[in-house]
A = this chain, B = another copy of it.
Amino acid sequence: MRGMSAEQTKDPVAEQIRAVLDGRWESIRQQLRADERFPVAQPDLRLGLDEHRQRTLDLVTGLSATELVRATLPESLGGTGDVGASVTGLEMIGHGDLSVFVKAGVQFGLFGGAIANLGTDRHHERYLPGMADLSLPGCFAMTETGHGSDVQSILTTATHDPETDELVIHSPSPAARKDYIGGAARDARLAAVFAQLVVGGENHGVHCVLVPVRDEAGSPLRGVTIGDCGSKMGLLGVDNGRLLFDQVRVPRENLLGRYGDIDEQGRYSSPIESVNRRFFTMLGTLVRGRVTVGAGAGAAARSALTIAVRYGLQRTQFHYPDGEHEVVVMDYRAHQRKLLPRLAKSYALALAQNALVEKLAAINSGEITDEPSQRELEARAAGLKAIITEHATDTIQACREACGGAGYMTLNRFADLKADTDVFTTFEGDNTVLLQLVAKGMLTEYKSDFQELDTRGAILFGARQVTTSVIERTIGGSLIQRLISGAPGKDGDDALLDRGGQLAVFEDRESHLTETLAMRLRRAGDDDADSFAVFNDAQDHLLEAARAHVDRVTLEAFVSAIDEAPQGPGRDLLDQVCDLFVFSTVEANRAWFIEHGRLSSSQSKGVVARVNELCGQLRPHAATLVAGFGIPDAWLTTEMMADLATF
């Protein structure tokens, strides 16, 4: 990597692209790139478990003085309340040791986020400053051994005792054990515990209670049994642990009571009457964690691509037929096909992620306040988290293989990138469950058909009862509409020739999948229907519809970002990258397009040929395109590039 940096930073096209990709929070990105104290450290795998954990804690503590953490605090407590800056800063950390990214995400995003979003002013004042400066390390105790995706069914109870005006936190069975809790094994002193709130003998559903778990010296408090999850596949710097509560008493005020509180007379009240709706509203406010995971996964995929593309541009193998020169591996079509469509998708998803963060920030700041927008944000966050983390797993794997044996050596980064990101497809929502949540949102257009499903089948979807459709165009609405309307022909050979036609093709796929899904699920409302069987028979259809939705939203974000970019070669190159994203997405789903009469057989073959052609056209720009990711060389130093430099 060395030696190349001067050239890369001089590449004006890469610089134009970087500015587009940096988006609204460019300044915090640039600030962090230039800040040598910023802990975008490569993981140090020589460390033992406890050393790794201590180093991770130290690096996270070091963040407390930065803009990133100031952004997590409200203005009333001396912060900037700029959630976009907070998420973007964490994303940048995602280029380094992902244990730091996750540990920081747990402290500032999940633990801090629970207090900020579920608590009231008194909780904010009392706990957020310590949360931010790490004098109060916390954890987020939601998942239990027996219930992960199905949070509504967790078993831990928080029972109000009117005699003492306390809440009694209790784990009634081994399945109720809080599990995989980041921070629990070693550092956390205060836990945000999700539990069934029982007041006056009545269960009001899942609420969050702050429960001290360790004293200042680090010893478990009475009634709290703490376990260590021990060795994991990756994220070795994060101290995941287990918590069991045996009738642990905390003051009533420890209930984070924004959406449901107990008054001094021991009476429960909530601004939201429906238990179901209250539950999903509370969970909805925690969307930031999910957005952050997608951000980090995208960063990790871009790190991997940067390393693999640069290696592929220097590594040679086998001679040309002339027998004199060896072929640069990036010149092989198979190698281009491994890396370039994934690079294009990485750009697409990064821009979609940027648009998501803008929406999150607009809602968080109160700029947007309507309920439908909040629902759309949640659905989009779920969908993008699922697709970006899946993409990261797939891309890092492909990049490792593209670097052969060198890719297997720890110093070349794929070992930690792979192992650390592997659980991203699971935590903050299992991807399958999240895609179901997206599909549920898409179906709300057909809501009147689903009264029965909503009551009998809602939990199966792991989703809330939503009140509006999320399929509406939310990014660049008028631009996209203009492009689609201006497309010359929508069903001929030319459907994919211009951007408007491409947008129409993506939208048509989503609509058709949604409509036909609705028709199938409608049967669940029949009196004699086995609604589980109806849902289950359509589950693969449902997941495909959700994917089509995310594809469409992603393309719209890509098109909007290009539209807003200044004219120039950087924008022109992004236009080609967008083409590759479009054609490789259609190629991956081309069976569907032919089966449903959207492409003829020969058009479908033409799509494959076009992907090959675009790979060839982008090949000369591969170095520029990874430079455009804007990852400082120092964050990605690898041994294999140094090896090549010595030949």
Shortest beta-carbon distance from A120 to chain B in Å: 31
Complex partner residue of A174 from B234, B601, B647, CB under 8 angstroms: B647
B539 near A332: Cβ-Cβ < 8 Å: yes
Cα–Cα, bound, A333→B532 (Å) = 11
**CB-nearest residue of chain B relative to A423?**
B408
Interface bits A558-586 vs B (CB < 8 Å: 1, else 0)? 00000000000000000000000000000
Interface bits A317-361 vs B (CB < 8 Å: 1, else 0)? 111110000110001111001000000000000000000000000
B326 near A532: Cβ-Cβ < 8 Å: no
Cα–Cα, bound, A471→B331 (Å) = 29
Cα–Cα, bound, A332→B533 (Å) = 9
- Which B residues touch A418, using CB under 8 A? 233, 418, 422
Give the contacts of A139-181 with B (CB-CB under 8 A).
143, 145-150, 153, 173-175, 179-180
B232 near A410: Cβ-Cβ < 8 Å: yes
Cα–Cα, bound, A409→B422 (Å) = 11
Cα–Cα, bound, A147→B405 (Å) = 11
Q: Does A231 contact B (CB under 8 A)?
A: yes
- Interface of chain A, main secondary structure: helix
Give the contacts of A589-627 with B (CB-CB under 8 A).
590-591, 594-597, 601-602, 604-605, 612
A425 near B401: Cβ-Cβ < 8 Å: yes
Interface bits A442-473 vs B (CB < 8 Å: 1, else 0)? 00000000000000110110100000000000
Q: Does A280 contact B (CB under 8 A)?
A: no
A interface, size bucket: 35 or more
Q: Indicate whether A460 sits within 8 Å of B143 (C-beta atoms), given known contacts A404-B430, A422-B400.
A: no
- Which B residues touch A230, using CB under 8 A? 409-411
Give the contacts of A622-637 with B (CB-CB under 8 A).
none
Complex partner residue of A320 from B233, B532, B597, CB under 8 angstroms: B532
Shortest beta-carbon distance from A324 to chain B in Å: 12
B174 near A404: Cβ-Cβ < 8 Å: no
Cα–Cα, bound, A431→B459 (Å) = 44
Shortest beta-carbon distance from A415 to chain B in Å: 4
A233 near B594: Cβ-Cβ < 8 Å: no
Complex partner residue of A426 from B147, B401, B531, B605, CB under 8 angstroms: B401
Complex partner residue of A405 from B153, B180, B333, B432, CB under 8 angstroms: B180
A337 near B415: Cβ-Cβ < 8 Å: no
B405 near A179: Cβ-Cβ < 8 Å: yes
A318 near B419: Cβ-Cβ < 8 Å: no
- Which B residues touch A173, using CB under 8 A? 647
- Which B residues touch A590, using CB under 8 A? 591
Q: Does A255 contact B (CB under 8 A)?
A: no
Q: Indicate whether A404 sits within 8 Å of B426 (C-beta atoms), given known contacts A321-B531, A333-B540.
A: yes
- Which B residues touch A334, using CB under 8 A? 432, 539-540, 543
Shortest beta-carbon distance from A233 to chain B in Å: 4
Q: Does A537 contact B (CB under 8 A)?
A: yes
Cα–Cα, bound, A415→B423 (Å) = 11
Shortest beta-carbon distance from A33 to chain B in Å: 28
Q: Does A216 contact B (CB under 8 A)?
A: no
Complex partner residue of A409 from B46, B232, B543, CB under 8 angstroms: B232
Q: Does A229 contact B (CB under 8 A)?
A: yes
A409 near B539: Cβ-Cβ < 8 Å: no
Shortest beta-carbon distance from A592 to chain B in Å: 9
Give the contacts of A393-444 with B (CB-CB under 8 A).
393, 397, 400-401, 404-405, 407-411, 414-415, 418-419, 422-423, 425-427, 430-432
Q: Does A35 contact B (CB under 8 A)?
A: no
- Which B residues touch A415, using CB under 8 A? 231-233, 419
A318 near B426: Cβ-Cβ < 8 Å: no
Cα–Cα, bound, A612→B397 (Å) = 28
- Which B residues touch A76, using CB under 8 A? none
Count chain B CB atoms within 10 A of each CB in A409, A415, A427, A597 and give the residue with the most. A409
Cα–Cα, bound, A459→B322 (Å) = 11
**CB-nearest residue of chain B relative to A431?**
B401
- Which B residues touch A225, using CB under 8 A? none
B393 near A460: Cβ-Cβ < 8 Å: no
A532 near B411: Cβ-Cβ < 8 Å: no
Q: Does A365 contact B (CB under 8 A)?
A: no
Interface bits A513-554 vs B (CB < 8 Å: 1, else 0)? 000000000000000000110001101100100000000000
5 A-B residue pairings within 8 Å (CB atoms)? A174-B647, A333-B536, A333-B539, A408-B426, A591-B594
The 3 closest A-B pairs by CB, nearest first: A231-B410, A233-B415, A591-B591
Residues of A within 8 A of B (CB): 45-46, 143, 145-150, 153, 173-175, 179-180, 229-234, 317-321, 326-327, 331-334, 337, 393, 397, 400-401, 404-405, 407-411, 414-415, 418-419, 422-423, 425-427, 430-432, 456-457, 459-460, 462, 531-532, 536-537, 539-540, 543, 590-591, 594-597, 601-602, 604-605, 612, 643, 646-647
Beyond A175-B647, A233-B414, 10 extra complex contacts between A and B, CB < 8 Å = A146-B647, A174-B646, A174-B647, A232-B415, A233-B415, A332-B539, A334-B540, A408-B423, A594-B595, A595-B605
